[in-house]
């Protein structure tokens, strides 16, 4: 029997660091759930604990459900992957005169960068003052996109640009060709066959469930602000609400190539098309990171292929990932904005027998933790503080009447050596060079040297 104590300790520490109120996790091997647990609270005000059954919004993990629905229509001959989008949508998407195809929407390769409808819509509902966009249905998003061609950066197929609006269009197409609403289609053709009986779209359904999570914003002071959950009305890019046990069935289907519990949702050939690399991501973590149809693809995750996707609606975050060769999967949900991708990949690495401390984010965190602190110059003639946030380092000088705070960006992060840079007046690049000498941390800047004192 596996010992999950180290894993549980890691999760609790990440929750402490990231101020996560509550988190639920399940581990799947084949079609079987071998571990599930809730950590922390689903409702801080009443002290109600999380469980593996607790409901959370899964955000963009929803995209793989939409992609699966489209592949079902492809198999039924209702649509072709190389069909132009304008064949089904009253919108001529032609970046630089080239028609966008269904394949381009599935792979986020339309040539259009994100138009930020989701940010505007979420801000509207959560009253974040980031923007205002009261969209209630897919037709509203189509209207919003009328001038999208003017925002294009490349021709279709040339570059990955994450485009929430693209998956809204796919949901619209799914509804139009099936003769059902998008929500009805996903419920009938995917959720019901998988026995996902507590996975919903509507506030009405969620509100009568007795194990649902509250929604939290963690403010700049680290305080938990309870707020409402943003029910969009536009669901195909990120509207599902689920729990890790239901998602375990979905993972089982994925690891079995499109079938679960004797029921086949899509052919193995079609499913394999969904989880093969189609376009390379411009942000690389492991090398050759790519996107399939509603899934991220990492060909070499410590020697294994990794298929995964994260999701966020700012107040709930999610991660779903699996290693096809080992048939190991992880579902992770929490009720605040949190690094769920990092946590999920840590779990998968440990389950695969890989030292999770070799993960890029773990190495970065280790270096940053060692760097943070108070520094002094020769004979304590001057002092400085080093703080980090979001992977950025800040060098801070405090004076009686003010503060000087300069951001530095990582250039090289090694076990015993790290450099950070900033661009100053006159476009001059300045470097902070950190080196470890035994237990001491030495910092050399453009004009001085500091030793970490605490």
Q: How confident is the model at residue 277, as a pLDDT?
A: 97
Do the Cβ atoms of 294 and 309 come closer than 8 Å? yes
Is residue 4 predicted with pLDDT exceeding 70? yes
Share of residues in the chain with pLDDT > 70 (%):
99
- Alpha-carbon span 49 to 343, nearest angstrom: 20
Is residue 306 predicted with pLDDT exceeding 80? yes
- Alpha-carbon span 342 to 192, nearest angstrom: 30
- Lowest mean per-residue pLDDT among 81-95, 193-207, 353-367, 373-387: 353-367
- Lowest mean per-residue pLDDT among 49-53, 85-89, 125-129, 259-263: 125-129
3-state secondary structure of 253: helix
pTM beyond 0.95: no
- Lowest mean per-residue pLDDT among 204-208, 350-354, 390-394: 390-394
Angle between helices 62-75 and 164-178 in degrees, nearest 10 = 40
H or E element, residue 17: helix 5-18
- Lowest mean per-residue pLDDT among 181-195, 253-267, 380-394: 380-394
- Alpha-carbon span 29 to 148, nearest angstrom: 43
Of 438 and 156, more confident: 156
- Lowest mean per-residue pLDDT among 29-33, 115-119, 301-305: 115-119
Q: Please give the average per-residue pLDDT across 101-125, as a whole number.
A: 89
- In terms of C-beta density within 10 A (0-12 exposed, 13-18 middle, 19 or more buried), how is residue 219 classed? exposed
Is residue 202 predicted with pLDDT exceeding 90? yes
Do the Cβ atoms of 118 and 236 come closer than 8 Å? no
- CA neighbor of 437 nearest in space, from 447, 422, 452: 452
Is residue 38 predicted with pLDDT exceeding 90? yes
Q: How confident is the model at residue 255, as a pLDDT?
A: 97
pLDDT single digits (tens) 272-283 = 999 999 999 988
Domains and CATH numbers, the chain: 5-355 (3.40.710.10), 364-452 (2.40.128.210)
Confidence band for 47, pLDDT divided at 50, 70 and 90: very high
Confidence band for 1, pLDDT divided at 50, 70 and 90: low
DSSP secondary structure string, 121-146? Answer: HHHHHHT-SS------SHHHHHHHTT
Of 439 and 204, more confident: 204
Strand boundaries in 96-231, DSSP class E: 215-218, 224-227
């Amino acid at each position: 029997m596996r010992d999950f104590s180290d894993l549980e300790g890691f999760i609790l520490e990440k929750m402490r660091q990231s101020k996560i109120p509550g988190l639920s996790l399940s581990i799947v091997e084949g079609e079987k759930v071998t571990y599930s647990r809730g950590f922390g609270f689903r409702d801080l005000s009443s002290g109600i604990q999380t469980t593996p059954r607790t409901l959370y919004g899964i955000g963009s993990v929803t995209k793989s459900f939409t992609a699966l629905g489209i592949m079902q229509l492809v198999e039924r001959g209702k649509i072709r992957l190389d069909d132009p989008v304008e064949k089904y949508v009253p919108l001529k998407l032609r970046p630089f005169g080239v028609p966008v195809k269904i394949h381009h929407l599935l792979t986020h390769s339309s040539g259009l960068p994100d138009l930020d409808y989701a940010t505007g819509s979420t801000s509207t509902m959560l009253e974040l003052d980031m923007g205002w966009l009261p969209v209630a249905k897919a037709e509203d998003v189509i209207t919003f996109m009328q001038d999208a061609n003017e925002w294009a950066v490349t021709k279709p197929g040339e570059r990955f640009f994450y485009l929430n609006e693209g998956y809204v269009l796919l949901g619209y197409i799914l509804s139009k060709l099936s003769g059902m609403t998008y929500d009805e289609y996903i419920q009938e053709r995917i959720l019901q066959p998988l026995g996902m009986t507590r996975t919903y779209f509507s506030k009405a359904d969620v509100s009568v469930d007795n194990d649902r999570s509250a929604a939290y914003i963690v403010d700049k002071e680290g305080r938990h602000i309870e707020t409402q959950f943003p029910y969009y009305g536009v669901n195909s890019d990120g509207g599902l609400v689920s729990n890790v046990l239901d998602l375990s069935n979905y993972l089982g289907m994925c690891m079995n190539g499109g079938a679960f519990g004797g029921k086949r949702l899509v052919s193995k050939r079609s499913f394999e098309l969904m989880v093969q690399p189609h376009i390379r991501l411009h942000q690389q973590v492991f090398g050759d990171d790519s996107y399939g149809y509603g899934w991220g693809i990492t060909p070499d995750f410590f020697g294994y292929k990794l298929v995964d996707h994260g999701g966020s609606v700012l107040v709930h975050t999610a991660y779903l990932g699996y290693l096809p060769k080992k048939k190991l999967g992880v579902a992770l949900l929490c009720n605040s904005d949190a690094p769920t991708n990092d946590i999920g990949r840590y779990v998968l690495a440990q389950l695969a027998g890989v030292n999770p401390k070799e993960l890029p984010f773990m190495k970065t965190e280790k270096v940053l933790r060692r760097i943070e602190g108070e520094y002094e110059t020769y004979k304590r003639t001057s002092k400085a503080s080093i703080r980090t946030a979001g992977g950025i380092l800040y060098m801070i000088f405090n004076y009686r009447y003010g503060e000087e705070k300069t951001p530095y960006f990582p250039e090289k992060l090694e076990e015993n050596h790290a450099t950070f840079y900033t661009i100053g007046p006159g476009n001059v690049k300045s470097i902070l060079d950190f080196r470890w000498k035994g237990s001491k941390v030495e910092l050399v800047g453009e004009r001085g040297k500091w030793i970490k004192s605490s």
